[in-house]
């Protein structure tokens, strides 16, 4: 989330500032995917068609912050993509396109919102479809801009359509990621209906379910050797910190994949301080990792702490090169 106080900080600081000392870790990866929780625009009017307390927008120049971290692709299917109306969304899409950053989950029509974004990484094709169950009033239609809105109800026609989209996209890519901006802001356990929904996405062809929206991270489930991140938590923002829930704690999630499968997930503990992400080292990092280990254990997911790397690791399958 690069708006509000982060936007103010970027008026005076270098584009790299929000990434802090996580930047070298991010740049070591072959590709980087994130949820973009704001409009990037110098225009637009705060959304007023329905009551909304927070409106997030970052100046158009701050696409430079995404470029500084080499962000390859962003999800726009969330509850802040239209904070500054259809104009703000159109500006965001245009700025991302001109900057070479791919995007999924929102656009000028339902067709655009449904369209998978494709990355080619070392000869491996990675596809991303993004959806949200937030802000139903922003649902894209054939003749209306908006987000790919899907209720978390397997019997809903939109959920059936989502599974069809995933299956179709999987036929053309090696690794299929589904980005899900879903559920409540708080709670360390995923809502009960998220579990069968995530399983259905895997059965439809998803190799990774990348969940977010909540302000705290949730446990990782491994289903049919595929990782389900029910909620990744917060990475960069200006939000007030709940000293019990610790919404300033999360991870950089690093996936390793071959042509046919994701083989490993490494989670590097992070914190947010002064609108800036940072690596959590020493006891703080171990405490964050131990919390995640407990949440993963609820899904019978085996994890191990790798001291020399400072990360928590889940081995999913043998790498296939």
What is the per-residue pLDDT across 265-291, written as a single tens digit (0 to 9) for each?
999 999 999 999 999 999 999 999 999
**Residue carrying structure tokens 């409009």:** 39
> Residue 178 above 60 pLDDT?
yes
Buried b (16+ CB within 10 A) or exposed e, 2-20: bbbebbebbeeeebebbbb
Distances (CA, A) of 232 to 38, 48, 268: 17, 29, 12
Q: What per-residue confidence (pLDDT) applies to 72?
A: 98
Please say if the pLDDT value at position 34 is more than 50.
yes
Q: What pLDDT, on the 0 to 100 scale, is given for residue 317?
A: 65
Res. 261: pLDDT tops 90: no
Rounded mean pLDDT, 49-56: 86
For a pLDDT cut of 90, what percent of the chain falls above it? Answer: 95
> Degrees (nearest 5) of the Cα angle 257, 176, 254?
40
pLDDT at position 316, please?
85
| Structural domains present in the chain | 4-315 (3.60.21)
Helix (H, G, I), strand (E, B) or coil at 46: coil
Find out whether 41 and 81 touch, Cβ atoms under 8 Å. Answer: no
DSSP string of 81-124?
TTTTHHHHHHHHHHHHHHHT-EEESEESSHHHHHPPEEEEETTE
Which residues does 240 contact at the CB level (< 8 Å), separation at least 6? none
300 or 52: which leads in pLDDT: 300
Question: Do the Cβ atoms of 174 and 181 come closer than 8 Å?
Answer: no
* pLDDT value at residue 321: 37
pTM here is 0.96
How confident is the model over 193-199, as a mean pLDDT? 98
Q: What average pLDDT does this structure show over 162-174? A: 98
**pLDDT > 70 in the chain, percent:** 98
pLDDT per position as a tens digit, 22-32: 999 999 999 99
pLDDT digits (tens, 9 = 90+) for 205-243: 999 999 999 999 999 999 999 999 999 999 999 999 999
Q: Are 156 and 173 in contact (CB under 8 A)?
A: no
What is residue 317's three-state secondary structure?
Answer: coil
């Amino acid at each position: 989330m690069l708006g509000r106080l982060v936007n103010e900080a970027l008026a005076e600081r270098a584009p790299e500032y929000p990434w802090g000392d996580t930047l070298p870790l991010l740049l070591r990866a072959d590709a980087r995917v994130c949820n973009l929780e704001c409009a990037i625009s110098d225009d637009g009017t705060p959304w007023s068609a329905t009551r909304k307390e927070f409106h997030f927008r970052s100046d158009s120049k701050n696409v430079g912050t995404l470029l500084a971290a080499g962000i390859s692709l962003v999800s726009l299917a969330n509850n802040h993509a239209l904070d500054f109306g259809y104009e703000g969304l159109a500006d965001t899409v245009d700025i991302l396109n001109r900057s070479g950053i791919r995007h999924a989950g929102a656009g000028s029509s339902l067709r655009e919102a449904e369209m998978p974004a494709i990355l080619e990484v070392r000869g491996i094709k990675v596809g991303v479809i993004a959806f949200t169950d937030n802000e139903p009033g922003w649902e894209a239609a054939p003749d209306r801009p908006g987000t790919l809105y899907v209720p978390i109800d397997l019997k809903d026609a939109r959920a059936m359509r989502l599974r069809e989209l995933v299956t179709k996209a999987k036929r053309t890519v090696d690794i299929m990621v589904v980005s899900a901006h879903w559920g409540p802001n708080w709670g360390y356990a995923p809502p009960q209906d998220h579990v069968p929904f995530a399983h259905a996405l895997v059965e439809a062809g998803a190799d990774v379910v990348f969940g977010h929206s909540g302000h705290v991270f949730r446990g990782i489930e491994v289903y049919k050797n595929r990782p389900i991140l029910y909620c990744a938590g917060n990475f960069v923002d200006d939000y007030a910190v709940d000293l019990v829930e610790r919404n300033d704690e999360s991870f950089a999630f690093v996936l390793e994949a071959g042509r046919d499968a994701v083989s490993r997930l490494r989670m590097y503990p992070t914190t947010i301080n002064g609108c800036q992400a940072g690596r959590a080292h020493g006891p703080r990092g171990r405490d964050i990792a131990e919390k995640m280990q407990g949440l993963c254990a609820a899904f019978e997911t085996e994890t191990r702490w790798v001291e020399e790397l400072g990360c928590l690791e889940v081995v999913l399958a043998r790498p296939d090169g």
